[in-house]
């Protein structure tokens, strides 16, 4: 009899111990304001989208959801701050492939462990790149560009936002994949890179769709392909690389994902995943994602998200090692 009493008491104690597994965490969550840390300045596409879904998440959680912008250190400042935050679901961070897949290989020292310090919550958007060229270049398709680059007496120049950035690595990925002769020309910002591309000082570039759409519509740039496995909703006539180059394995994208500190209780992570999937699956929200130049990805499960993360880290890490860029940035 005493054993049964003690056993029952132990079960009851476990239910009410803070942080114990089970539904108690989710039922008590959230108990205060939830902060979503954005690694870019206010007004960036990521920030705009975060503010849109923060309002909807606030309605589901019943507590304020606020956005805190923390740009800096190649998007790593935000990640490092949330890695060290209390793992109770009240501090979350939006991240991309740069701090979670590229920088841990590129930099000699990173103040967090991208694989061990975070629990992914919601994978809600891909950020594909588009391949644009100066209209004077005598190519209108990817196969024509590949042939032009192989036949050219001098390497084809391609612009990016700096060594080790996703747009630089996209150019290197294409260069290696198709055996092309290309020279990288780094720029400090998107405006400078696109201005030189329009002026013909560089020949081609991978770029973000949102930044280039006006130039494409004005005929100042020609777009050849998109790097995602599906066409962009706001560029429906532009083929994917898989289509344009008959290369079904070609996909190279950045992405937007919401993370919590790794030790956040599983039931809180699952609740946030469920709530975010419902929010981001709404057709109106998906249209807003597309309007920003991103690609909605539906409602992947936590397991599917983990699998995608592992694959993306392998792809970027392998490319950086092949290029000899591993640990080259202080």
Residue 315's domain is classified under what CATH number?
A: 3.40.190.150
Q: Say yes or no to pLDDT of 1 above 50.
A: no
Residues 221, 260, single domain; the answer is: no
Q: Quote the mean pLDDT of the chain.
A: 90
Rounded mean pLDDT, 77-101: 97
pLDDT confidence tier of residue 273, bands split at 50, 70 and 90: very high
pLDDT digits (tens, 9 = 90+) for 111-132: 999 999 999 999 999 999 999 9
Count CB atoms within 10 A of the CB of residue 222.
17
Domain co-membership, 230 together with 259 = no
- On whether residue 5 sits in a domain, the answer given is no
pLDDT, tens only, 215-260: 999 999 999 999 999 998 888 999 999 999 999 989 889 999 999 9
Does the pTM exceed 0.75? yes
The closest alpha carbon to 83, from 114, 47, 127, belongs to 114
Q: Is a pLDDT exceeding 50 seen at residue 95? A: yes
Paired tokens of 117: 């310090």
CB-CB neighbours of 274 under 10 Å? 16
- Residue 209: predicted pLDDT: 83
Range 64-93 average pLDDT: 97
112 and 53 co-located in one domain: yes
Domain membership flag for residue 313 = yes
Q: How far is CA 136 from CA 11, 181, 213, 245, in A?
A: 74, 19, 18, 21
- End residue of a domain, out of 210, 244, 278: 244
pLDDT for residue 20? 41
- The pLDDT assigned to 10 comes to 42
**Which one has a higher pLDDT value, 27 or 189?**
189
Residues 6+ apart with CB under 8 A from 174: 131, 180, 182, 206
Structural domain for 198, as ranges: 128-244
Residues 138 and 114 in one domain: no
Instruction: Mark whether 118 and 157 lie in a shared domain.
Output: no
Are residues 157 and 238 part of one domain? yes
- In this prediction, residues 273-296 reach a mean pLDDT of 93
Whole-number Cα distances in Å, 40 to 21, 43, 128, 196: 34, 8, 18, 25
Beta strands in 272-321 (DSSP E): 295-296
| Domain assignment present for 238 | yes
Query: CATH number of the domain that 165 lies in?
Result: 3.40.190.10
Which of 226, 244, 262 is the endpoint of a domain? 244
Provide the pLDDT for residue 203: 97
Same domain, 134 and 211: yes
Report how many domains make up the chain. 2
Report pLDDT for 58: 97
| Count of residues making up the chain | 330
Give the pLDDT confidence score for residue 26 in this predicted structure: 62
Same domain, yes or no, for 70 and 215?
A: no
Is residue 2 included in any domain, yes or no?
A: no
Does position 15 have pLDDT exceeding 90, yes or no?
no
What is the percent of the chain with per-residue pLDDT over 90, rounded to a whole number?
Answer: 78
Does a structural domain hold residue 87? yes
107 and 193 in one domain?
no
For residue 258, the number of C-alpha atoms closer than 13 Å in the C-beta half-sphere is 30
Has residue 265 been placed in a domain?
yes
| Residue 262 located in a structural domain | yes
Q: Percent of the chain, pLDDT > 70?
A: 92
Which of 219, 244, 269 represents a domain boundary (last residue)?
244
Q: At what angle do helices 190-199 and 209-217 cross, to 10 degrees?
A: 30
Indicate whether 211 belongs to any domain.
yes
What is the average per-residue pLDDT within 52-65? Answer: 97
**pLDDT-derived band of residue 59, with 50, 70 and 90 as boundaries?**
very high
**Is 99 found in the same domain as 237?**
no
Q: What is the pLDDT of residue 103?
A: 96
Q: How many CA atoms lie within 13 A of 273 on its CB side?
A: 21
Q: Specify whether 283 is located in the same domain as 315.
A: yes
Q: Is it the case that residue 298 has pLDDT exceeding 90?
A: no
Say yes or no: 225 and 303 in one domain.
Answer: no
Q: Which pLDDT tens digit goes with each residue over 129-182?
A: 999 999 999 999 999 999 999 999 999 999 999 989 999 999 999 999 999 999
């Amino acid at each position: 009899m005493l054993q049964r009493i003690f056993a029952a008491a132990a079960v009851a104690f476990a239910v009410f111990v803070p942080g114990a597994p089970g539904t108690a965490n989710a039922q008590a969550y959230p108990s205060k304001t939830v902060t979503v840390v954005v690694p870019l300045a206010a007004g960036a596409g990521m920030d705009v989208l975060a503010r849109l879904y923060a309002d909807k998440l606030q309605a589901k959680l019943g507590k304020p959801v606020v956005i805190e912008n923390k740009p800096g250190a190649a998007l790593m400042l935000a990640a490092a701050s949330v890695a060290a935050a209390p793992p109770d679901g009240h501090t979350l961070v939006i991240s991309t492939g740069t701090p979670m897949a590229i920088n841990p290989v590129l930099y000699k020292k990173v103040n967090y462990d991208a694989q061990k310090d975070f629990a992914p919550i919601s994978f809600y958007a891909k950020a594909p790149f588009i391949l644009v060229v100066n209209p004077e270049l005598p190519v209108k398709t990817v196969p024509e560009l590949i042939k032009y680059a192989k036949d050219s007496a001098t390497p084809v120049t391609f612009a990016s936002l700096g060594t080790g950035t996703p747009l630089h690595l996209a150019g290197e990925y294409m260069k290696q994949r198709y055996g092309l002769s290309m020279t990288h020309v780094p720029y400090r910002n998107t405006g400078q890179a696109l201005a030189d591309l329009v002026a013909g000082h560089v020949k081609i570039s991978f770029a973000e769709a949102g930044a280039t759409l006006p130039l494409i519509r004005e005929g100042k740039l020609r777009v050849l392909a998109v790097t995602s496995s599906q066409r962009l909703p706001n560029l429906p006539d532009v083929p994917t690389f898989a289509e344009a180059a008959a290369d079904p394995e070609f996909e190279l994208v950045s992405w937007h994902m919401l993370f919590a500190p790794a030790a956040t209780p599983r039931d809180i992570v699952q609740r946030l995943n469920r709530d975010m999937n419902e929010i981001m699956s709404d057709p109106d929200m998906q249209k807003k994602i597309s309007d920003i130049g991103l690609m909605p990805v539906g409602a992947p499960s936590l397991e599917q998200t983990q699998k995608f993360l592992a694959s993306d880290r392998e792809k970027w890490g392998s490319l950086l090692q092949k290029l000899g860029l591993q640990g080259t940035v202080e």
